[in-house]
């Protein structure tokens, strides 16, 4: 029997999905409609949400049109002051304080386009949040809810009396009533929560939904630790006769790092120029081109060592000729699972241009490892604070800096800047340099280094912000532990909080490759 109607013409598609960058303009416009008189999101805040915790950012879509959205992050709620504000818990809307191991989801906004209300869009978004909380085995969802009708009753009752009346269905509040109907329970009322929410008198109801499926990992509660062991190689440059000689020295240090159960071993910048000692090429620019011919052997060596010795290797840096016939100074990350990544040196020194004709890279990379996110900034690059700030905003907890300096002044520029980056960004920094000499190799004849591991300067970190340092100008290794959990806690509760206290309203660092 033939159908009279094509039902596809009548169907509608309502879905809840993860937010993406293409949704940002629609969300900004929707927020202006939903919250007139209040400061809307900035584009860079929404981009930060997607970069930090994409799972927690959701939209409701009807027939391809975004009609609702919600944003959230994960925290350990007991680390926050009882009277926290919206800015406190969201890092001023950028959620860079998101804790992937947090027990609680904190909802920071839900909105529905005015033309699509009464379609249970908000309820669908709340249910999607609850499903994510179950999936991630979170203890609860917490929200700081507005009470937008309070201004109509502020002259006759206190916020507590208003909330009590709404809870007993004597007064209707579009936000609080909705939250109560969706299973959230009142914890307390926070004053001065959102400064531009005049309709709520700046008050917010702190509400919680408990996940009854939550499975506690342990009945005991500890201050956790996430240690990472780093082996820094201070490498002696000396004449060798073959690539095998270099490979033998490198394997020795990787073996030392592995025996110490290191998670990372880091070599210095362009230490492979040691190969020039037997290339017999007097012209520096031609010697570099001959050096690049060893790139396949270099990569094969370090990949094999990383897997065989079960340690992540920052392979110093090496001059590489690429398809454009340009030569770049590249640091490779050789992971112990056999995968490889690379970071181009972005700022080329005058000497590198003059003697070797090195070309500059143009992107800041942050790499996932089995010990969290790291970045590599080669020598001169650590002297530009913007790069470290960009890497930190991308999630890096450790910045490795292979370096090569010929005198104490050059070395101190690298060292002081690495220590400054650790303080400014509340991260760990690691510098690894070359010592010794190559008398017959032009522009690599002398070396000066004192390698080290540096931390932010606060009580829970090493004294003077120095985890460890080598002796100057001696070939040796430095092995030290850094704790990523202490780093996370100090970003939240330290004596000073450089990341949280940045004045986003006054200045910003813009990464043009974003």
How far, in Å, are 186, 238, 281, 300 from residue 439 at the CA level? 74, 9, 14, 29
Distance, CA of 146 to CA of 159 (rounded, Å) = 11
State the catalytic residue, choosing from 70, 231, 379, 417: 379
Contact (CB, 8 A) for 250 and 301: yes
Q: In terms of residues, how long is the chain?
A: 514
Distance, CA of 442 to CA of 277 (rounded, Å) = 10
Closest CA to 150 of 131, 130, 127, 177: 177
424 is catalytic: no
Contact (CB, 8 A) for 477 and 443: no
Closest CA to 171 of 189, 153, 197: 153
- What is residue 355's DSSP assignment? I
* Helix (H/G/I), strand (E/B), else coil: 287: helix
How far, in Å, are 331, 420, 453, 476, 480 from residue 470 at the CA level? 22, 19, 9, 7, 11
State the catalytic residue, choosing from 269, 383, 469, 475: 269
Tell me the β-bridge partners of 143: 107, 207
Contact (CB, 8 A) for 316 and 334: no
Contact (CB, 8 A) for 499 and 91: yes
State the catalytic residue, choosing from 130, 139, 345, 500: 345
Tell me the β-bridge partners of 333: 314, 341
Distance, CA of 469 to CA of 477 (rounded, Å) = 9
Distance, CA of 62 to CA of 92 (rounded, Å) = 30
**What's the number of CA atoms in the CB half-sphere (13 Å) around residue 230?**
30
Tell me the β-bridge partners of 190: 204
231 is catalytic: no
Closest CA to 262 of 482, 451, 484: 482
* Helix (H/G/I), strand (E/B), else coil: 227: strand
Q: Look at the block and give the residue holding tokens 């690691």.
A: 430
Distance, CA of 98 to CA of 106 (rounded, Å) = 10
Contact (CB, 8 A) for 447 and 406: yes
Closest CA to 173 of 191, 157, 195, 196: 157
Contact (CB, 8 A) for 70 and 100: no
> Which two three-digit tokens encode residue 252?
């020795």
Tell me how crowded residue 22 is: count the other CB atoms within 10 A of its CB.
Answer: 8
269 is catalytic: yes
What are the residue numbers of the active site? 269, 345, 379
């Amino acid at each position: 029997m033939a159908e009279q109607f094509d039902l596809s013409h009548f169907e509608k598609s309502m879905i809840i999905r993860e937010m993406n960058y293409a949704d940002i303009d629609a969300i900004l416009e929707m927020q202006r409609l939903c919250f007139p008189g209040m400061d809307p999101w900035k584009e860079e805040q929404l981009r930060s949400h997607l970069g930090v915790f994409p799972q927690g950012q959701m939209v409701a879509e009807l027939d391809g049109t975004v009609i609702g959205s919600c944003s959230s992050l994960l925290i350990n709620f007991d680390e926050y002051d009882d009277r926290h504000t919206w800015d406190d818990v969201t890092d001023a809307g950028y959620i860079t304080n998101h804790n992937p191991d947090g027990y609680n989801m904190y909802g920071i906004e839900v909105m529905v386009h005015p033309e699509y209300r009464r379609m249970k869009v908000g309820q669908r978004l709340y249910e999607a949040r609850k499903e994510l909380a179950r999936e991630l085995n979170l203890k609860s969802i917490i929200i700081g809810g507005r009470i937008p009708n309070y201004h109509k009753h502020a002259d006759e009752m206190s916020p507590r009396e208003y909330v009590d009346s709404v809870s007993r269905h004597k007064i209707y509040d579009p936000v609080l009533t909705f939250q109560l109907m969706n299973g959230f329970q009142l914890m307390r009322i926070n004053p001065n929560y959102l400064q531009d929410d005049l309709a709520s008198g700046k008050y917010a109801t702190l509400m919680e939904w408990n996940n009854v499926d939550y499975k506690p990992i342990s009945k005991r509660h500890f201050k956790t630790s996430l240690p990472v062991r780093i082996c820094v190689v201070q490498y002696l440059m000396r004449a060798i006769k073959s690539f095998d000689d270099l490979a033998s020295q490198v394997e020795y240090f990787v073996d030392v790092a592995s025996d110490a159960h290191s998670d990372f071993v880091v070599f210095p910048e362009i230490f492979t120029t040691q190969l020039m000692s037997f290339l017999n090429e007097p012209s520096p620019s031609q010697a570099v081109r001959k050096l690049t011919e060893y790139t396949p052997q270099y990569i094969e060596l370090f990949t094999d060592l990383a897997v065989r010795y079960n340690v992540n290797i920052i392979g110093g840096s090496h001059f590489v000729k690429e398809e454009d016939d340009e030569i770049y100074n590249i640091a490779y990350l050789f992971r112990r699972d056999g995968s490889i990544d690379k970071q181009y040196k972005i700022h080329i020194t005058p000497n590198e241009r003059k003697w070797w004709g090195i070309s500059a890279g143009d992107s800041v990379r942050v790499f996932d490892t089995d010990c969290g996110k790291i970045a590599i900034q080669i020598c001169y690059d650590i002297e530009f604070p913007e790069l470290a700030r960009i890497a930190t905003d991308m999630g890096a907890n450790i910045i490795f800096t292979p370096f090569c300096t010929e005198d104490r002044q050059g070395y101190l520029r690298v060292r002081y800047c690495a220590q400054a980056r650790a303080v400014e960004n509340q991260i760990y920094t690691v510098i690894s340099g070359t010592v010794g000499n190559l008398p017959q190799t032009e522009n690599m004849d002398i070396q000066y280094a004192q390698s080290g591991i540096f931390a932010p300067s606060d009580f829970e970190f090493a004294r003077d912000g120095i985890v460890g340092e080598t002796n100057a100008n001696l070939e040796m290794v430095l092995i030290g532990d850094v704790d990523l959990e202490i780093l996370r806690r100090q970003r939240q509760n330290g004596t000073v909080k450089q990341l949280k206290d940045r004045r986003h309203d006054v200045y910003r660092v813009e990464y043009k490759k974003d």
